[in-house]
Amino acid sequence: MTPMKFSIFSKLIPSIFCILVCGIAFAKTNTTDLKPLFSDNFDAKVKAIQNLSKEGSPEALEILQALSAGTLFLSPQGVVVQKGDQYIDVLTGQSISVKSEGLQDVILNNQLRGKVDNALLGLELASTDVQIRTKAVDALIKDPEPDTFPLVEKLLTTENDPALKLKVEKLWALLALQSDNQESKLKAIALLGDSGDPQVAALLAPLAKEGGPVQDAAEKALAKIKKSEFSGEILGNIIAGFSYGSILLLCALGLAITYGLIGVINMAHGEFLMVGAYATYVVQGFFRQYAPGYLDWYLLFALPVAFLAAALVGILIERTVIKFLYGRPLETLLATFGVSLLMIQMTRTIFGAQNVEVANPTWMSGAIQVLPNLVVPYNRIIIFAFAIAVVVVTWLVLNKTRLGLFIRAVTQNRTMAACVGVKTVRVDMYAFAFGAGIAGLGGVALSQIGNVGPDLGQSYIVDSFMVVVLGGVGQLAGTIYGAFGLGITSKLLEPFIGAVLAKIAILVFIIIFIQRRPQGLFALKGRSVD
């Protein structure tokens, strides 16, 4: 290239750039006519908002945002957006000097505001940020806007995120139901039916009366939703049963040990749950006051505190009351019932009669969406895992430690164990403390899913005894089967016959079962010298 040619080309570059810039500005000016927004014509305003939504450019998004915020004005120089103390021309992006008294704002009613909000959501659908798109889709699912249908159709073909893809399909189906295209409507009905979401049943119900293919498709979709809803309810009741069974297991586990060991019907065992729950409350208060930065971890420190608190109370009761009533079941029952009332009243005196708040740590908050009508909280999942962990530790203590060997020996044959040198009195005390401590751990778990009050343990003592009797006295495996079996059965029966009748039905079943099998599900193995 000669120097002359290069000189000519260098002069042409600025000219070409100016032409392109002017062309872009001209395109902006002609693609969106904003003046109808400032008129009194409602239809013209709606059309202008729709045009901005269809354009989908960053400038259109900015205009709609300003329109929503009330910072869009018409000045003698053109349409401007107020940003702080400055006024920016929406077409050129340049700051201009205008007088506030010469500005005309946009008058919007509630209907127009809704149109603007939906248009904004539509533009957010085209965002490169998956979180922004998800937020927009969630908002449109709650309130589908027909004007966004083309944008949703486009997003349906371009969306790569699997989780968001499912939501977009649902949104498309909700919008397609409002269309006149029968093919799209049938496809939408099928998608909504497969989703199993009971919330869309109200939308499909009118279509089940239209007649023709739409009616048939709607009826099939409603049947699928009803079936999915029923399955979700059953599964939810089973999960609730496992949650309830976890608390029963922690309460009945210690009761099975003490009842099987010394044959004491301890009516105060439920109060060990209460001791553990209030110990958790005290630890929480300590962390809130002295270590607020570590409040999320208070529960880990509450576990040993609750165990020790309940164990010490158990030792105190065993040494001062139960020790003198061995072999006298009726007197023991009445005495421990009095002890339970005394503990409840002492708790009311110390902490007050009202329930106290025990908050979940952040790592136990939230839930998992299993089905459209089923949400499983994290705290219930963690409590179930915790109950299983306590069972494992209890099994290790009973089967792999010297104390466990002594407990099993005394449980199977107290006289023979004493003859070979086992100090049965000390074993009774240690076993009672261990059982009370396990119940204290149950109180920690219970504090995360229920109210903490002075009479907390009263609701679980009867069910815990039923678990022990059903599973077999002193049997760890029987206690596990009994706790979860009782918990799941009660939660499955409650929706059909009510909570009271469910408990009565279970009690009648256990009475009949014990008549046929007095030893429970698992018989205690050992030799008798009676």
Asked whether residue 46 is domain-assigned, the answer is: no
How far apart CA 399 and CA 101 sit, in angstroms, is 88
Is the pTM higher than 0.85?
Answer: no
pLDDT at 523: 59
List, for residues 140-160, the tens digit of each pLDDT value.
778 777 767 777 877 878 888
Q: How does DSSP assign 376-392, residue by residue? A: EEHHHHHHHHHHHHHHH
List, for residues 56-114, the tens digit of each pLDDT value.
667 777 777 787 777 888 777 778 788 877 788 777 777 788 777 778 777 777 777 77
Using CA of residue 209, residue 214, residue 217, residue 222, what is the dihedral sign? negative
Cα–Cα distance list, 277 to 226, 309, 386, 451, 498 (Å): 40, 10, 15, 9, 28
- Does 486 lie in the same domain as 389? yes
- Does 378 lie in the same domain as 480? yes
List, for residues 393-448, the tens digit of each pLDDT value.
988 988 888 888 888 788 777 778 888 888 878 888 888 899 899 999 999 998 88
Asked whether residue 217 is domain-assigned, the answer is: no
pLDDT at 312: 94
How far apart CA 32 and CA 133 sit, in angstroms, is 24
List the beta bridge partners of residue 375.
Answer: 369
Asked whether residue 172 is domain-assigned, the answer is: yes
Element of type H or E holding 370: strand 367-371
pLDDT at 31: 36
Share of the chain above pLDDT 90, in %: 12
Q: Which domain holds residue 174?
A: 125-210
CB neighbours (10 Å) of residue 35? 11
- Does 198 lie in the same domain as 164? yes
- Does 245 lie in the same domain as 192? no
Q: Which of 150, 180, 210 is the last residue of a domain?
A: 210
Asked whether residue 215 is domain-assigned, the answer is: no
Asked whether residue 448 is domain-assigned, the answer is: yes
Is residue 311 predicted with pLDDT exceeding 90? yes
